[in-house]
Structure 1
Amino acid sequence: MIFMLSKKDFNFLKDKVPYAYKLVTTKEEKNNNIYFDVKEVSDFQDEINMEIVDSGMDDEETVNKLGKRMYQIYDNLLYQKRNNS
């Protein structure tokens, strides 16, 4: 499935969620957006979720600033998935 993120969000995903990024197979930049292909979408989503739990929450299991950004990206990708099905 082809997804699109802003270059800023894509680079954040690449830096902060490397296991999800490893599932990206091709990418293309257009107008400050990155279009990228993911073959194993459910694995990709799982990796983002695991990273939110691992580094996006504090000790009291409250979502921190990093987790909020990850959730925002995750929600954007989920929206795209639902609208492309």
Structure 2
Amino acid sequence: MSQATSQELLEKSTLELAQMLADKCAIAPNDWHRLKSNRKAQANQHITAALVYLQTSQTEEALAHLQQAVGWLDRSISAPPCPTHGHKH
């Protein structure tokens, strides 16, 4: 990491850094099928979302996302069905 980039990161708030990380770890809609069963990707998405909620003092939402992350990691939850399949339009 360059010195300029490091300095830019140091100038960001914890919330800004958490949001950047959450944005980076979010599963994009066009990647959903590919990553729907990827436990690491799913847990990453929930853990980083929990960090954002924690920074904004939304502890119940943070806890819910942490519980989802644990579920992915301990294999107690699995991928939901595709949101675009099975719906009648």
Alignment TM-score > 0.5, same fold: no
* Structure number with higher helix proportion: 2
* Structure number with higher strand proportion: 1
Tell me the TM-score normalised to structure 2 length: 0.40
Which structure is larger by alpha-carbon Rg, 1 or 2? Answer: 2
